[in-house]
Structure 1
Amino acid sequence: MAQFQVYLLAKDRLVLDLQTDLIDTGSRVVAPLFPKSRGPSPIGRIEPEFAIAGVPHVLHTAEMAAIPSGMLNGPPVADLTEFDYEIRRALDMVFTGF
């Protein structure tokens, strides 16, 4: 598992692994990614948008949670490492408000 990798959970749910690779506690902090077409408009920089397999998805950063590492089965379906800046800005909004 690696930070900023997208994993498929049961029932076609995508999550983004937010946790640093330096910490292995048996759980990972993730945030859900929802197809843009299935939800409300993204809320500014707290909910950045990414194309996954050509489909626009919105990261629901404020809905992050820790899940058991074993839930992230299989290989990642996408790598969002190149969007490090946008993801960290969204996390900053959650934790610091700016």
Structure 2
Amino acid sequence: MAQFDVFKLKSGIFVVDLQTDLIGIEASRIVAPLRGQGAYTAFPGLTPKVEFADQTWIVRVQELASVTGKELGDPIGTLEHARDELKRALDILIDGF
């Protein structure tokens, strides 16, 4: 597992791993769901738009959750290309700016 990897949960929801790899915790990971663009409210900066699997999604950073590494399984892609936007969204969520 690596930061910004995308996983598909058994429920069918795509999530992105936002947790750093530097602390070496694999038993649980902090993730945020990818939601269909237009299906949920987008907030400038907080819900970055990303391209994944030939679709545009919004990452609902405000819906952070902890899931077990076992629940994640194997990654199916990455959002490394959106690293800066995802990190800015975390800053907005935690610090307000």
Report the Cα distance in structure 2 between the residues aligned to 1:17 and 1:95, rounded to whole angstroms: 17
Q: Per-residue displacement from partner, 1:2-46 (whole Å, max 9, x unpaired)?
A: 000110001210000000112215100000111114x23411110
2:27 maps to 26
TM-score by length of 2: 0.92
Amino acid in the other structure paired with 1:31:
A
Matches within 5 A, 1:56-71: 56-71=56-71
* 1:88 has 2:87 as partner: yes
* Structure with greater helix percent: 1
Deviation at 1:82, TM superposition (A): 1.9
User: Over aligned residue pairs, what C-alpha RMSD do you find?
Assistant: 1.2
| Structure 1 unaligned residues grouped into runs of 5+ | none
Q: Is the 2:52–2:79 Cα contact (8 Å) retained in structure 1?
A: no
- TM-score when normalising by structure 1: 0.91
Tell me how many residue pairs correspond in the alignment.
96
Residues in 2 aligned to 1:77 and 1:36: alpha-carbon distance in whole angstroms: 20
Aligned partner of 1:43 in structure 2 is: 43
